Amino acid sequence: MKRKIVLITGANRGLGLETARHFAEEGHIVYLGSRNLHKGKTVAAGIPGSIPLHLDLNDPHTFTAAAEIISADHGRLDVLINNAGIMPEPDIMRDSTRDVPADILKNAFDTNFFGVVSLSNTLLPLLLKSEAPRIVNLSSNVGSLTLHASGAPLMKTFAYNASKTALNSYTVHLANACADTPLKVNSAHPGWLKTDMGTDYAPMEVREGLETVLWLANLPDDGPSGGFFHKQEKIAW
């Protein structure tokens, strides 16, 4: 097995942490991205093979610094898992569509969309130096316009949902833009997990969310790109 260079954002807790542990246990080099570097260092100390990295999706300076560190250390990046995100609505069980404040919408898009796009584009040159680069964008089925239009019983946290819909659009556009390269980029719905964001309302344990993420991060050369998946099943946009 070839050792991979992996960067995971929001990796100091929840699904990001579980993903970091998995890759490190397999012997890969894991950059553990976190907004709070102290917390990242504390977590990384318990995961052999992981390297704490300051990454704040609201601070583009941390993007360029991270790219410079990875470039100097390895000259390439094999896997980028865009896991970090926020749920700005305080009540996830309430429909916020008719009265969501503008600042809540802005916060959601700044982190869940603009930050992810900017970071990914900053790291793209390093990814394209890999033989088999993979980007996994952590989305959610609440970003599916098809499911909402069908009347499916989904959360109606409009700011969060809309930011994930926008992220899905980036997934498709980036896949098309890089169709002539080995890069594969996909959106993942890991499931509704018991994390700080998912809360105890969630029916799934964190480790259950790994399945979709790991499958997309380790796709073979003939695997899909520009898709939206949950446990290898396609989700309608």
Residue 119 sits in a domain of what CATH number?
3.40.50.720
Cβ-proximal residues to 61 (8 Å cutoff; 6+ apart), any chain: none
pLDDT at residue 235 is higher than 70: yes
For the segment 110-131, what is each residue's pLDDT rounded down to a tens digit?
999 999 999 999 999 999 999 9
Look up the domain containing 74 and give its range: 5-234
Q: Where are the beta strands (DSSP E) in 56-133?
A: 79-82
Q: What is the pTM of this model?
A: 0.94
Structure confidence by residue, pLDDT tens digits, 27-69: 999 999 999 999 999 999 999 989 999 999 999 999 999 999 9
Query: Rounded to whole angstroms, how far apart are CA atoms 212 and 149?
Result: 24
Are 169 and 137 in contact, with CB atoms under 8 Å apart? no
Q: How many domains does the chain have?
A: 1
CA dist list (Å): 120 to 52, 64, 98, 115: 18, 11, 32, 8
Contacts of 155 (CB under 8 A, 6+ apart): 92, 93, 142, 161
Q: In what order do the strands lie in the sheet with 50-54?
A: 50-54, 29-34, 5-8, 79-82, 134-138, 184-188, 228-230, 233-234
